Amino acid sequence: MTGLDPGVAARLKRNEAGLVPAVVQQHDTGEVLMLGWMDDEALHRTLTTGRATYWSRSRGEYWVKGETSGHVQHVKEVRLDCDGDTLLVKVDQTDVACHTGDRTCFDADLLLAT
């Protein structure tokens, strides 16, 4: 049981692990910062605390982004997609999003540019 709004919970389509991918975007510049994963409780906390909160698949625990690094994400907007299986979280990212020190998790590895 989580406190997630039942109407939202009913629209969520989770994967076999009970998770939904969350695309995280800087609200003003439009940069795609990272992709995280949320279960119902992480989404509930994100919606109610104003701090982006994920389920860490590697550590098996909730993870308030920036709790240790200080690189907090202040939540500005949350949207669910047409299939109910992906979230879009618009945030104000403090400093950098990536644990490597890059601004976004997509900065380092360019596969194609036209």
Residue 8 neighbours by CB under 8 Å, 6+ apart? 43, 80
Q: Which of residues 12-41 bind a second copy (CB under 8 A)?
A: 21, 23, 25, 29-32, 34-35
CA distance 5 to 70: 29
77 binds a second copy per the rule CB under 8 A: yes
Contact in structure between 47 and 114 (CB atoms under 8 Å)? no
- As measured in angstroms, the least distance from the Cβ of 1 to a second copy is 19
- Residues in contact with a second copy by CB under 8 A are 8, 11, 21, 23, 25, 29-32, 34-35, 47, 50, 75-84, 86-88, 98-100, 102, 105-114
